[in-house]
Structures are given as structure tokens and as C-alpha cells.
Amino acid sequence: MNGIKIVGTGRAVPKKVVTNDDLSRMVETNDEWIRTRTGIRERRVCEDETTVSLATEAAKHAVEAAREQLRNRVAETACGQQDDIVGYIKDEIAVVLVATTTPDYAFPSVACLVQKALELPDEVMSFDISAACSGFLYGLDICRGLLSNAKKRFALVIGSEQLSRITDYTDRGSCILFGDGAGAALVELSDNLYVQRQWSHGDMEALRCPGVGNDNAKLFMQGNKVFKFAVTALQQGVAQVLADAGLMMEDVDQVICHQANLRIIEHVQKKYPEHAEKFYVNIDRYGNTSAASIPIAMDEMRRSGILPDGSKVICIGFGAGFTWSAVLFEV
């Protein structure tokens, strides 16, 4: 089995909503300026929540969604009783992988703390990766490889970010973009269609944030350079996985772009004008949540019924590093 199938998804966002008008009281900006340049109307910002708590909540929702999907396949799970399905799922998780650039601690990892919160067995590989906004898609392919040699069935892939912790709220060019949140997917190996590409190109100038040992670490971004890179990366990624799969855009049901800026997504839509409606957008409500943006969107789409089992979807992410990744698969 060379592919990945989504068994369940979940998401978690902070309770606090920060609107564009709220930001206008913190920095020189206004609602119209932000909306016309980014498509963002509001974002969520942590108060009591943390990267770990958001990741844990999203993971719990993903496990619960998987329980519902497996409910009608009890015989396949070999768990005997429907009441045992959650326990079966937890026992069969081989990997907990968290993609994040904003862990609560240098160590232990967010993934290890999620493993503890979910009360998973000790025989679980738990670790974080840092690939910025591409992290969730990098994580999918890492888990695909790990599951191919695992004795257990599932992997839990999570993107969780508390970007408000590293946002410079005196910089109106960047502070308007970011929000906090988490998304999770419980996955298993599958014979379904699966094509993925990853890229990276080291760049310290365009997008960076100091690490451990910096008391006032804040994100720095050269907006124009990042914008140009993102447009190129998205267009390249979509075209590449379509070519690798031998498919055309009309064969694809949905496209989930990393939600960084509405204008970036629109540039890709223009390449496929007859299929613009396939590009999912929720940046207006969450802003840029980095590694969490794709799984948050995926969960919304599955729960609303627009991404049912068997759908062919392209997911494409890009972020600091630079890193970028694209996957075309059947969910």
C-alpha cells in the first residue's frame, strides 16, 4: 500500500476573536486595508490556550471522527464491541507527529505531551517537526513511510500553532496576517491514489524568527518576496502533482491551499479559471495559522460534506525555510 487515507479529522481554535477593527486600535491600519490586501476579516488568538492544548483538542476530535467512521466496520477493526472502538484506535496509533514552529517548550515535544493527554500506550513514536506552513504535508509523507514498517495501523498528524506568541504587533505588514489554531488527521495506509512532492530552498532573509535563547523572539517577514515565492510555489506544486498523477484539474474534486493570503490563492485560480470554485477558502475567519491551516480546512470540508470519502484533493503548502509541498490523493 503506497497511499494514505484519512480516517478522521479534527480542529481546535481559541475562543478569542480578533477582528480587523481590533487590530486598528493596536497599529495603524483599518478593516478595508486588511481585507483588500489579504482577504482576512478576523483571526483567533490564544488567551488560556496553548500549542499543546489546541493540538490535544484537535486530536481528540479526529479520534472521535474516526470512531464514527469505523463504527460500521467493527468486524474489520477486530475490536469485538462498538464501545471498544476508541480504545482500539488508541492502541493502534503508531506515530504522533506534530508540525509546529511555536512549541510550548524546547522539550519535551508537543507530540509527547499530546501522547500523554490522550493516554496512548508507551509504544508510540512521538515527535515534532519544523517545516513552517508546509509542516502538515511534510508530516503526512513522513507518517506514510513510518507506517509502512509499523506493527500498528494509524498515525496521528497534527498541525498546531500559537503564532500570536511570535507576532510583532507593531509591524502592520505582518501582524494582520496571523492567527492561532490546530488541525489533526488520523491516517492509515491505503491503495488509493497518492502523489506527493516536497521542495526546500534555504533563505534567511525573507521569513525568519529567532529560536531558543531569544527572550523577545518575533517573526520577521519581507512581504513582497514571500508573496512572489508563494505564487510560484503554489503554481509549480499544483502542476507537478497533476502531471505525476497523469490527471487534469477536471479530475480533481477540491484544492486546499495553505491559507496565507487570498490574493495568492487567486493567482493560482487564474491558472484554472473553469475550476476556481474548487479552491477552498477560509482565511477570512482564521488568518494564516501556518501548519494548522490545511488540516483546519480539511476538517471543515469533511464535516460540511464537501470532501466525502473517495474525493480526489490537492493540498499545497508553502512557508518559511523556504519549504513547499504538494499532495494529490483520495481522502
Predicted pLDDT of residue 215: 61
pTM for this entry: 0.94
CA distance 34 to 206: 21
Q: Which three cell numbers stand for residue 146?
A: 513510518
- Are 237 and 218 members of one domain? yes
Predicted pLDDT of residue 71: 80
- Are 184 and 213 members of one domain? no
Predicted pLDDT of residue 206: 58
- Are 106 and 152 members of one domain? yes
Q: Residue 177 pLDDT more than 80?
A: yes
Task: Identify the bridge partners of residue 139 per DSSP, sorted by sequence position.
Answer: none
CATH number at residue 291: 3.40.47.10
Q: Stretch 113-132: mean pLDDT, rounded?
A: 97
- Are 183 and 59 members of one domain? yes
Model confidence pLDDT, tens digit, residues 42-98: 999 999 999 999 999 999 999 999 998 888 665 454 555 556 788 999 999 999 999
Query: Would you give the distance in Å from CA 119 to the centre of its chain?
Result: 23
Which of the 8 DSSP states describes residue 45?
A: E
Tell me the H-state helices in 85-214. Answer: 85-91, 110-117, 135-147, 172-175
Model confidence pLDDT, tens digit, residues 129-166: 999 999 999 999 999 999 999 999 999 999 999 999 99
Catalytic positions: 133, 258, 288
- Are 205 and 176 members of one domain? no
Which of the 8 DSSP states describes residue 253?
A: S
Angle made by CA atoms 191, 196, 199, in degrees to the nearest 5:
160
- Are 158 and 220 members of one domain? no
Q: Residue 30 pLDDT more than 50?
A: yes
Range of the domain at 259: 194-330
- Are 177 and 226 members of one domain? no
Domain-ending residue, one of 190, 223, 250: 190
What's the domain count of the chain?
A: 2
Domain-ending residue, one of 190, 212, 234: 190
Contacts for 213 with CB less than 8 Å, ≥ 6 apart: none
- Are 139 and 203 members of one domain? no
- Are 62 and 123 members of one domain? yes
Q: Stretch 174-188: mean pLDDT, rounded?
A: 97
- Are 64 and 201 members of one domain? no
Kindly tell me the sign of the dihedral angle through the C-alpha atoms of 169, 320, 160, 214: negative
- 3-class SS letters over 185-199: EEEEEECCCEEEEEE
Q: Stretch 97-122: mean pLDDT, rounded?
A: 96
CB 159 within 8 A of CB 295: yes
Q: Which three cell numbers stand for residue 279?
A: 479552491
Domain-ending residue, one of 164, 190, 216: 190
Task: Give the type of residue at 284.
Answer: D
Question: Which residue is associated with the grid cell 518576496?
Answer: 225
- Are 258 and 127 members of one domain? no
- Are 211 and 252 members of one domain? yes
